[in-house]
Amino acid sequence: MSRGGSGGRTRVKTSRGRTAQSNRWLERQLNDPYVKRAHAEGYRSRSAYKLIELDERFGLLKGARAILDLGVAPGGWAQVVRKQAPKARIVGIDLLPVDPIEGVDLLQMDFMLDAAPDFLMDALGMAPDLVLSDMAANTTGHTPTDALRTMGLVEAATEFAVQVLRPGGAFVAKVFAGGADSTLVAELKRNFTHVKHAKPPASRKDSSEWYVIAQGFKGHHEPDRDPSA
């Protein structure tokens, strides 16, 4: 690697062991101000600043006592939660192993397993104020397929949040291609007082990543009754 260009920009020398695409990715990482800031401030990923920015805009972590972090790896969001809400109970889940974070219970398992919700709630020990989902399906390279697979995760996270949140609680999920689809938005609006989409500044402009923020959980609905019954 060598430094060159204006403003001290880091340029990556071509290596036989790396493709041009890999070089572009590495150069972007080395010159990304959020990556540099994450290293300087001890966060495990630049994505920590997405949650920081969402929290500044929506006040997600204020007063939160119990939080679930779905798709916790590598732990940047959990670090933010721990810093912003140091007394809160925090439980995270991911398929990937995550290095320990003080004050955070970590489960290495597939959130889509039938047993996962019970494991999460047993670990948390109380109804959450906030359910965070930064989950995304592993990419196949086929954009429509990737979008559908990720939307499946978002739908599962939404269903879970509606089942476990305390009244007044909030749900945040990563979505793609401009936001959640109309069916999911309708479901969120049925269950939450406020539903908005946001793209925090830390989310790269060339990314199709957005977040849906649902606040003011209305509580559990009684099933519709047949008036003739």
Residue type, 142: H
212/7 Cα distance (integer angstroms): 36
Backbone region of residue 91 per phi and psi (left: phi > 0; alpha: psi in -120 to 50; beta: other values): beta
Active-site position among 13, 174, 199, 218: 174
62: annotated active-site residue: no
Where in the sequence numbering do the catalytic residues fall?
A: 174
